[in-house]
């Protein structure tokens, strides 16, 4: 594995392992308007997006740094006119490319060309099985037949297909049907990903929060299907933070495995890092990816364990989950260096669970605040307000 030498006096490890993944957020433009989107509330406009040559240079720097996987994401990455050129650059550099797509609008028209230049993998989002429900959640009419046609072409080309279903109150009853759909569409993998409450999902939390009993039922459905479909379908399960016992190692640990480049070239340790005030992010226009990985103040802020407070500091799981999610700690505890309140050892954990139970018990869920560029959401939950 490649290694880079950290810059500056306070960098602790002598050799820093290289990141393995690059999330390339090529654009925030998207034909869907999902209320659970983890993109920031202030979405980048097309006029500010990086150009093709800059993305190609960034990809070359990623390959030189040791990155193995590039996730071509957004927004909807196929909304970029140059998506084929960017994918070709991945293939020429030996980077494994994963297209994270909604499969609608012009996506199908570009698929064969993407295959021809060496696209390796497709991850297709599905909002629900039942078309009316799926299109209500995604905020786009006639999306479902387009998605199914897209999936059919992916498998006809022989490309590996993963379906990604973000789970919430509005579709949790469909988890068994989503598993059947993945089999029917020929997917090799299904991600049953309970909503993570960042960005638009955070302001829509009360509309999205499922009941604990439904969560438990969905987990049982996944466990049963994993047995039944062994060798046919791999099912990844992301459990909902607010009902968890221990938090996830968010982004594989801050500054340990991933780099996230925004449409305008800002490089983040995770997709929601900009919600943490006071962090200094570096841009690909000013620094190489290697310089950013080693020296960017944002990457160094919560790397390792030195920054941890109790109970993380003395916990024997601290190098397993790296204290959970910094952005969630900020949102729920008001302090990005606090233990993630998703952890049962956090003093705030009980409050967070009570909040989830109260929101999921609302008789009528609030209307969705759909994701939109330039639209200001109602501040249902003030960001950074501790529970
Ligand atoms: Fe992880 Fe910190 Fe909780 Fe321990 S106390 S399990 S390190 S979040
Ligand atoms: Fe930022 Fe989890 S989303 S650390």
pLDDT in tens, 175-220: 999 999 999 999 999 999 999 888 889 889 999 999 999 999 999 9
| DSSP 3-state of 189 | strand
Annotated binding residues:
30, 34, 37
| Alpha-carbon gap, residue 179 to 363, rounded angstroms | 28
Ligand found nearest the CA of 301: 2
pLDDT, tens only, 108-140 = 999 999 999 999 999 999 999 999 999 999 999
Distances (CA, A) of 155 to 112, 130, 183, 188, 330: 12, 21, 12, 10, 41
pLDDT one-digit tens code per residue, 284-328: 999 999 999 999 999 999 999 999 999 999 999 999 999 999 999
The domain made up of 16-379 has a fold known as: TIM Barrel (3.20.20)
pLDDT over 90 (residue 241): no
What is the structure's pLDDT at 11?
Answer: 46
**For the chain, how big is the Rg over CA atoms in Å?**
20
Give the pLDDT band (50/70/90) at residue 6. very low
Considering the chain, what is the average pLDDT of its residues? Answer: 92
CA distance 83 to 52: 9
Instruction: Look at residues 117, 116, 79 and name the one whose alpha carbon lies nearest to residue 101.
Output: 79
Residue 244: pLDDT band with limits 50, 70, 90: confident
Q: Which residues of 231-261 are buried (b: 16+ CB within 10 A; e: fewer)?
A: eebebebbbbbbbbebbbbbbebbbbbbbbb
Q: Which residues are annotated as a binding site for [4Fe-4S] cluster?
A: 30, 34, 37
Does 151 contact ligand 1 (Cβ within 6 A)? no
* Ligand 2: centre distance to CA 240 (Å): 14
Would you call 323 helix, strand, or coil by DSSP?
Answer: coil
Local confidence band at 363 (pLDDT 50, 70, 90 cut-offs): confident
- The pLDDT of residue 8 is 46
Q: How confident is the model at residue 385 (pLDDT cuts 50, 70, 90)?
A: low
Provide the ipTM: 0.93
Burial class (CB in 10 A: 0-12, 13-18, 19+), 218: buried
Q: Nearest bound ligand to CA 38?
A: 2
What are the boundaries of each domain within the chain? Answer: 16-379
pLDDT at 193: 94
What predicted TM-score, i.e. pTM, was given to this entire model? 0.91
Q: Which of 60, 61, 138 is nearest to 103 (CA)?
A: 138
For ligand 1, the distance from its centroid to the CA atom of residue 318, given in whole angstroms, is 6
In the structure encoding, which two tokens stand for residue 272, read together? 């929601």
C-alpha 340/C-alpha 349 separation (Å) is 8
Closest listed residue to residue 268, CA positions, set 253, 283, 278: 283
């Amino acid at each position: 594995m490649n290694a880079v030498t950290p810059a500056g006096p306070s960098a602790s490890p002598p050799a820093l392992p290289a990141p393995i993944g690059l999330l390339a957020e090529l654009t925030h433009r998207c034909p869907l308007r999902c209320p659970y989107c983890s993109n920031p509330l202030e979405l980048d406009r097309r006029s500010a997006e990086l150009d093709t040559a800059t993305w190609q240079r960034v990809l070359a720097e990623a390959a030189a740094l040791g990155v193995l996987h590039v996730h071509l994401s957004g927004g909807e990455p196929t909304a970029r006119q140059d998506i084929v050129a960017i994918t070709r650059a991945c293939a020429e550099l030996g980077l494994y490319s994963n297209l994270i797509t909604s499969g609608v609008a012009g996506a199908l028209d570009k698929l064969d060309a993407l295959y021809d230049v060496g696209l390796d993998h497709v991850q297709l989002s599905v909002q629900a099985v039942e078309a009316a429900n799926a299109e209500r959640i995604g905020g786009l009419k006639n999306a479902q037949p387009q998605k199914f046609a897209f999936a059919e072409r992916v498998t006809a080309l022989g490309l590996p297909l993963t379906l990604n279903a973000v789970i919430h109150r509005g579709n949790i009853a469909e988890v068994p049907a989503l598993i059947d759909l993945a089999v029917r569409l020929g997917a090799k993998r299904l991600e049953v990903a309970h909503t993570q409450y960042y960005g638009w999902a955070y302001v829509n939390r009360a509309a999205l929060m499922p009941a604990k009993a439904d969560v438990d039922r969905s987990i049982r459905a996944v466990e049963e299907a994993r047995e039944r479909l062994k060798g046919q379908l791999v099912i990844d399960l992301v459990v909902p933070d607010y009902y968890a016992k221990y938090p996830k190692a968010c982004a594989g640990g801050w500054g340990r495995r991933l780099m996230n480049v925004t449409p305008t070239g800002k490089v983040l340790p995770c997709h929601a890092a900009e919600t943490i005030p006071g962090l200094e992010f570096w841009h690909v226009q000013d620094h190489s990816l290697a310089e950013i990985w080693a020296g960017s103040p944002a990457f160094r802020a919560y790397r390792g364990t030195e920054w941890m407070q109790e109970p993380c500091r003395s916990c024997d799981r601290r190098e397993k989950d790296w204290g959970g999610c910094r952005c969630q700690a900020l949102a729920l505890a008001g302090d990005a260096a606090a233990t993630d309140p998703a952890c049962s050892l956090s003093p705030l954990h009980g409050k967070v669970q009570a909040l989830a139970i109260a929101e999921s018990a609302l008789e009528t869920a609030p209307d969705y605040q759909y994701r939109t560029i330039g639209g200001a959401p109602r501040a249902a939950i003030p960001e950074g307000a501790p529970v």
